[in-house]
Structure 1
Amino acid sequence: MNHDRHPPSPDDAITDAAAHWCMRLHAEDCTVAEREAFNRWLSANPQHAEEYQAMLEIWQTADLLPRNATVIDFNPPVQRQARPRRWRPLASAAAIALAVLPLAGWLGWEQGWLPNHYQHFAVGERMQTVELSDGSTVQLNLNTELTFLNYKDQRQVTLKRGEAFFKVRHDSSHPFIVHAGRGQTRVTGTQFNVWKYQDQVKVTLVEGSVLVSSDGNDGGYRLGPGMQASYRLGDFEPQLQQSGDYANSLAWREGKLVLENLSLAQALPMINRYLDTPLLLADASTGRIRISGIYNTREVGRLVNNLPKVLPVYLTRSKDGSTVLNRISPPPDKG
């Protein structure tokens, strides 16, 4: 007798992964590396959080997890198509796992393995201010995405892309850690700005103090108000400076992009965060041209089209459709 076998769907793979993480994070031998891998998986797709929440509900059915083990907030809300879930076999698997892991759910929270709150925020063409479950507030720039997880021993934010201004509720026993690129910013309560573009990260402190560490450096460097720390992939130490453009760095909160006598090489990352496809430089010579001005963050595309009117450049298209800035060579000396 022939039985048709359908290949597993992507949804089934996500459900299986959620079941795996639910059991691993409640195991006594769960490692720090596994927890970090779980955080990356959780923040990779909002559907992962939905499935993980559903799996926790199965465990709660057996009365082996606290009823408030995880609350998931999505902002903005996303309409999802209803689909059947394989609850019964997964519930059985979870029940078997829990039978050999007494008090696993309670230990998961007590040991700092499981968050009791998860939030995911993604904004597109409109800035937004959101409140985290700990009472902190975050102002999100255009094209920004971050996640928040509240653990017993710390609060964790992952800035996947974009820019955010944090007003962190003070809690000295519950540090607030922002992961961006290959580094992190650690605070207990303060106001600061974090910008991430590709592998570049810049932290600007407004009030209080923060501890910034980059790739491979566990010690970190403490910033005072008005200071900035910048790092990118491979930097063992962040670059520190007393910011002379303090207001310029935060002008995005008023919908402004301020470029004050910057080279195009310096300005392009700031411009590209507002573009769907990045603006490119034809060569290093083009990158040395300097630019100044104050622009509306909603009209950066218009800025790009107007650059040939104010700078010695012209625009071309690359093979992949990206816009390329090319320097207009000055005429040769006649002397």
Structure 2
Amino acid sequence: MDHTAADDISHQANAWFALFHGGAPTPEQRAAWSAWMAADVRHAQAYAELENLWAASALLLQPSPAAAPVAPARLSRRRFVGLGLAASAAAVTAGAGTLWLNGVDSPFADLRTAVGERRIAYLPDGSTVEMAGHTAMNLDFSATRRAVELLHGQAFFRVRPSAAGEFSINTQAGRLHTREGEFCVSCENDAGLVAVSQGRVQVLTAGQQTELEEGLSLSFSARATGDIQRAELAQMLAWRNGRLVFFNEPLLTVVDALQRWRKGRIFIMDKQLAARRVSLILNLDHPDQMLDVLSRALAVRTTRYTDLVTLIYPA
């Protein structure tokens, strides 16, 4: 099977899985799903893989009765400073580039969330924004203007049409414009990603303008704009339903995402391990168990030094 066909089946399986686990399918949709499952054995296999992954993640979240709690390693101030210097100099410094240990920064932002917090806010024009953990933004609304500055983080916007004109989002990576629609934006430093679930979004970066339609995504930065991709919306928006979903992603990407949902800093101490591909579903209602789930599922070893620093090694 060629890669294009495999990607199409994976995308369809993700869409059906999201419908059945995050929505209320109609009888017609259930019939269409049954027909899709019966049409090709590869359809059923792809859907079964998602079901098995979901079930395995639920089991991993249940503490083992035979497992005794392990106290985190003691760490002196001298050793902590030495560890920080060593980790900073390491070839693999896995985790997001910004270190947030206290859970909140951008204290003067108009809207913000702490690490692990989710929040829905109503904007002055009647639009709404659903904010993921560790997200901050400023608002600029008037009778003739509606603009958001996304300082950092991830947010899902539902933009309503308004006499004030276009809705704009400014980031370090570029600007977004739309009149109405639904889309998710994430931005850390000068790297951004947008995925459109309804309507159209215009992305403006240095020297380039890109129009995104429903079901498409785009990575962008102040220096370059990526290729338009099909958006895996069920995966990208799973955090809104209390899950983090990763399919064939590098462990480094997974760890970067965890930084938004649990306090402290995580370092992967091996280059090959950081590049290892991972399929995993994590429950945001149990942030303290995320690393335990990760270590069990991937057979890696984690060492915690207080609640501030965690190191990940090959098993």
CA 322–200 in structure 1, closer or farther in 2 if over 3 Å, else same: farther
Alpha-carbon deviation of 1:220?
A: 1.7
Q: Is the CA contact (8 Å cut-off) linking 2:121 and 2:128 kept in structure 1?
A: yes
Deviations 1:263-314 (A, max 9, x none): 2023222222212223222232011222222211232331213433222322
Q: Does 1:197 align with 2:184?
A: no
Alpha-carbon deviation of 1:320?
A: 11
**233, 248, 253: which is aligned to 1:261?**
248
Q: Which amino acid aligns with 1:223?
A: L
Q: Is the CA contact (8 Å cut-off) linking 1:295 and 1:303 kept in structure 2?
A: yes
CA 279–239 in structure 1, closer or farther in 2 if over 3 Å, else same: farther
**309, 314, 317: which is aligned to 2:296?**
309
Match of 2:275 in 1: 288
**94, 106, 110: which is aligned to 1:120?**
110
Match of 2:176 in 1: 185
Q: Is the CA contact (8 Å cut-off) linking 1:282 and 1:324 kept in structure 2?
A: yes
Q: Which amino acid aligns with 1:179?
A: N
The gaps in structure 1 that reach 5 residues or longer are: 1-42, 47-118, 329-335
**1:201 counterpart SS class:** strand
Q: Which amino acid aligns with 1:190?
A: G
Match of 2:220 in 1: 231
RMSD of the TM alignment (CA)? Answer: 2.7
Tell me the TM-score normalized by structure 1. Answer: 0.56
Q: Name the larger-Rg structure.
A: 1
CA 126–267 in structure 1, closer or farther in 2 if over 3 Å, else same: closer
CA distance in 2, matches of 1:123, 1:316: 28
CA 144–174 in structure 1, closer or farther in 2 if over 3 Å, else same: same
CA 239–297 in structure 1, closer or farther in 2 if over 3 Å, else same: farther
Moved over 4 A (4+): 317-321
CA distance in 2, matches of 1:44, 1:296: 26
Q: Which has the higher contact order (CA 8 A, sep 6+)?
A: 2
Q: Is the CA contact (8 Å cut-off) linking 2:106 and 2:112 kept in structure 1?
A: no
Alpha-carbon deviation of 1:182?
A: 2.4
Match of 2:228 in 1: 240
**188, 210, 214: which is aligned to 1:221?**
210
Alpha-carbon deviation of 1:318?
A: 8.2
CA distance in 2, matches of 1:221, 1:278: 35
Tell me the TM-score normalized by structure 2. Answer: 0.60
Q: Is the CA contact (8 Å cut-off) linking 2:147 and 2:167 kept in structure 1?
A: yes
CA 300–260 in structure 1, closer or farther in 2 if over 3 Å, else same: farther
The gaps in structure 2 that reach 5 residues or longer are: 1-104
Alpha-carbon deviation of 1:44?
A: 6.0
Q: Is the CA contact (8 Å cut-off) linking 2:216 and 2:230 kept in structure 1?
A: yes
**148, 151, 158: which is aligned to 2:139?**
148
